[in-house]
A and B are shown apart, each in its own frame.
Chain A
Amino acid sequence: MILWRAGMRNVLRHPWLTVLAVLGVALGVAVVTAVDHANEAAQRAFRLAAETVAGRATHQVVGGPTGLAEDIYRRMRVELRVRGSAPVVSGHLQLAGRTFQLIGIDPFAEPPLRSFSSRFADRGLLTTLMTRPGTVLMLPESAAELRLERGATYPADSAGVRRQLALAGFLEPPDQVSRVALASVLVCDIATAQELLGMVGRLSRIDLILPDGAEGGRVLREVRAILPPGADIVPAGARAGALDQMTRAFRLNLKALSLLALVVGMFLIYNTMTFSVVRRRRLIGMLRALGVSRREVFAMICAEALLIGVAGTVAGLVAGALLGSELTRLVTRTINDLYFVMEVRRVPLLPGALWKGALLGVAATLAATMPAALEATGAPPRAVLSRSQVETRRRRLLPLATCGGFVLIAAGCGLFFTERGGIVGGFLGLFAVIVGYTLLVPAAVMLLSALLRPLLETVLGSLGRMAARGVVVSLSRTGVATAALVVAVSAGIGVGIMVGGFRLTVQNWLANWLQADVYVTSADRGGGRYRPPLDPALVRRLSVLEGEALVTLSRRVRIEGAAGGTELFSLQVPERTFLRYPFKEGDPARAWSTFRSGAAVLVSEPYSYRHHLHPGDSVTLRTSRGERRFPVAGVIYDYGSDTGIVIMSRAGYLANFADESVDGMSFTARPGLDLARLLELVRARVGGEQVTVVSNAQLRQATVEVFDRTFAITGVLRMLTMLVAFVGILSALMAMQVERARELAVLRAIGLTPGQVWGVVCGETVLIGLIAGLLSLPLGIAEALVLIYVINLRSFGWTMQLAITPAQLGQALLLSVTAAFLAGIYPSLRIARTSPALALKEED
């Protein structure tokens, strides 16, 4: 294949351009793969754990915040003779520095349901588990990892209390899948779990296997008949789907960001391939004259692209695997901060993510190559088509591209105003606007370089004029490079403004929401957003401070139901504090009396958005007295949970949920008492208990830190996109300079010094950077608006402030000029150093 050899050698002839193109594909693929992997890994880990722990259960009996009375299980077994049923007590505890899910079971009731307990190695183990309190089982792998030995005793913390646990033996799951799922699970007898988790006499839930059909329906009705009002039967699948539901928007946001990196990567490939075709227009014309057919030219270009695409994809997958485990850590941390505690173990790159990345990399490369390949095919079979003719042909497309750009932008905007499009519609619209905007870039480049020409002329003289003209003359090069830079920089601006506005919003909200001076919660973070109750004795001890400070008691619980769970936050709050709450809808003064009595509730903004609730509507909650409707007295801003919360007064909670426990306390100093003294008083009364005592400032600080952590992954993706853009502009500029080597060599021959040539080239690149920076400002601001008012609203229902600071915009401008300048240094040095004679001789 002599013809193909010519193509391949061409790829090798400009190795740095090829390497940059490969790098661009690799980075794009790596980011997409890594994000995909992280999302998948987290989702799979959760689903597996939920499924393994649920076993073959078809239904679950769930209770209120304090679970179910043990008695219900006894009645089900004895009175109703429901055979496929097993009680479960579960909670979190810390052992050897890791958070475990403790699952208390009844070994005799288990076999039909779950497999982790069906093969206890020996009867003796079973006896130990049931007769010796404080004995647990775990996976041998986990034990080995933490250097825990069978038979030994270790301290474990739960709900602020330290107890000794003995490792009685090992779990022996029947298959590899449950092994992965059980990595952070401890299994023990139900009595041990009740004791450890402070749930004596209570159960977390009862798992059931109901037969299909009429028989199952009958059992369901019978069981339901004996359930107390606070309990309910829900399908077992409901919980496993919880993560999907809760984190969908979060994952979608990540995915969109990762796709952006790929889009920028595609610009890079497009640029490389177009350049490679334009540079060889003579050669292609020659081949056509020799009788090489259009189809063969097309195939040759595509093969070249495929080579780059495959190399980039392979490199990208390797990098994606490395980046993937890091992103998995970030994603898991965010999920732990925002949603629930789970542990995701390191897993090799998932086949799904791998194939998707591979396909996307190769497909994106080929798609980005199409314009170039088509142009090559269209080249007439003679070697006379000049550079200027190519540019003229391109320029004729300019009005078309500009019109197309406006149409795409209009279409994208249309999507923003159709509520039905949802989040996906929002992202599609965003991408349409971005792509449409890039189509406007070439026209804008022409306009701006004409406008900036006088400036360059005054700074650099006639060399400046040459630089300005150079940008326009090779518009097919500079247009693409500028567009890629614009996309990346504007993404930076857009996400930056969004995160900045969000941060500011959260800070303002915290100022209204956190009004007390000192907060006390359990130190145990095993339950994620939910903390275990404080010791009642401690609550009593601290309540004595009533004389010195205003004391509030709060409790955050999750009410499980058939349609997933509802987060219920209850607190006893003074009127003065209540009136300062950040109300979005409703009137605090009017809401106060019904709220205090517990007759009405407040809902947070995301809750109101998701469930379409407004003052005057009502929320249905399953209380200990059965389902009850609570009128919504107001909607308040809350940025603590994106699924939304229902807020109830403590009086209402006590009356409806038969749970007197408290998991948080706050203290507001009365006049005359300073903060330091209050802290001292609280600390003194806490004594040796494992609780966190923080001041208002510390709590705000911690909340903002969580916020920043949540957006750390966004920052990483933003940086990677920027990196792809940088590689893009570097390769575009190099391509441009290689192409113009002859022209510049002529200048050298006429008598321009290397320094002057350098000046022309750098003037051009800086001009490109400046233009790209200017053009990215409107797009970046538009992106921020869309992110705030469309994407985030549709994802989470949050209202955010818009805060655009000149510093942010200036930074973006500086960034793009610097990137362009840096990217221009190497090529211009190279050009300035080449001997004029050499460059003149080179034919292609």
Chain B
Amino acid sequence: MAEPIVELRGVGKSFHEGDRERVVFRDASLSIEPGAWVFLFGRSGSGKSTLLNLVSGIDLPDRGEVRVDGSDLSRLSERERTLFRRNHIGFVFQFYNLIPTLTVEENVLLPLELSGTLTPAGRRRAAELLDAVGLADRGRAFPDRLSGGEQQRVAVARALVHAPKLVLADEPTGNLDAQTGRQVLDLFQRLLRPAGTTLVLVTHSGEVASLADRVLSIKDGVLVDAAGVPGAGA
């Protein structure tokens, strides 16, 4: 069996608000194989975004261990975690989060520049991706000219342009109508599956669960496999 790309062992995480403590994870464990698609369900406020933050090294656990691609994130410095993120992770957010002062094309090129691979080949890949998401002709536009669905497609292109091993998507379809949401998921299907890229996706919509290899949910601070979904628990 291949080494898991994401591994959580006994993770505890809580937030303090004033003198009140809010426990999000008590004892969460998880292991994801390379190339697997994991969908994460859960009520709002159950800790889905927190989990993604932990996996991406944006946040650190209070207890336990988060390993991504073999390295224990707690042992990395802030700078090392940042570099790790820029090189190996692609992010898609619910609110698109494009840089408003950069054009669509520049937004897509930014991760390449950050990882130092702004080569002609990289540019070609960016152009291909923009074409793939159907926005080849909007490269010079600024994000605020685009509709929500279009913005999210740009965000997908941006998340994939540097060929990350792991893509994290936090309710990428949450702000879109059902049809536009499906378009975005189709994009993932077309662009991630062939490359064997691992995907962790947070969603509310049950009907997309069929695309997943595995479905998880958060209950009382632990991660549980949601029953009755094909491929779950693999």
Contact = CB atoms under 8 A, between A and B. Distances in A.
Interface stretch (A6-14, A651-659, A773-781): A6-14
Interface string B74-93: 00001100111111010101
Given A9-B102, A381-B58, A290 B91 contact: yes
A2 B106 contact: yes
B92 to A, nearest CB: 11
Interface stretch (B36-44, B109-117, B198-206, B221-229): B109-117
Contacts of B97: 282, 286, 289, 383
Interface in B53-106: 53, 56, 58-59, 78-79, 82-87, 89, 91, 93, 95, 97, 99-102, 106
For the residues of B in contact with A, the DSSP-based class is helix
B144 interface: yes
A616 interface: no
A49 B179 CA distance: 87
Nearest to A13: B101
Interface stretch (A71-79, A291-299, A351-359, A699-707): A291-299
Interface in A241-287: 282-283, 286-287
B169 to A, nearest CB: 13
A293 B101 contact: no
B59 A3 contact: no
Interface string A448-462: 000000000000000
B86 to A, nearest CB: 2
A290 B58 contact: no
A289 B59 contact: no
Contacts of B87: 291
A291 B89 contact: yes
Contacts of A843: 95, 100, 144
A395 interface: no
Nearest to A12: B101
Contacts of A380: 58-59
A3 B113 contact: yes
A559 to B, nearest CB: 72
A215 interface: no
Contacts, number: 82
A6 to B, nearest CB: 5
Nearest to B99: A6
Contact of A291 (B82, B95, B99): B82
A652 B118 CA distance: 92
Given A290-B114, A291-B89, A382-B58, A2 B101 contact: no
B113 A291 contact: no
A397 interface: no
A93 B50 CA distance: 87
B82 A293 contact: yes
A217 B144 CA distance: 87
A6 B106 CA distance: 9
A756 to B, nearest CB: 28
A9 B59 CA distance: 30
Nearest to A11: B101
A742 interface: no
B101 A6 contact: yes
Nearest to A843: B100
B118 to A, nearest CB: 8
A383 B53 CA distance: 11
Contact of A381 (B82, B84, B99, B109): B82
Given A1-B113, A291-B111, A292-B114, A842 B86 contact: no
A288 interface: yes
B110 A289 contact: no
A674 interface: no
Given A290-B86, A293-B82, A283 B99 contact: yes
A9 B107 CA distance: 13
Counting chain B CB atoms within 10 Å of each CB, the highest count among A6, A10, A288, A380 belongs to: A6
Interface in A675-714: none
Nearest to B82: A293
Contact of B86 (A292, A294, A382): A292
A291 B114 CA distance: 7
Contact of B109 (A2, A291, A295, A844): A2
Given A288-B58, A288-B82, A293-B83, 18 more contacts: A3-B110, A5-B106, A9-B102, A286-B99, A287-B99, A289-B56, A289-B58, A291-B84, A291-B86, A292-B86, A293-B82, A293-B86, A294-B78, A380-B58, A380-B59, A381-B82, A383-B95, A843-B95
17 contacts: A2-B106, A2-B109, A2-B118, A283-B100, A289-B56, A289-B58, A289-B93, A291-B82, A291-B89, A292-B82, A293-B79, A382-B53, A382-B58, A842-B144, A843-B95, A843-B144, A844-B100
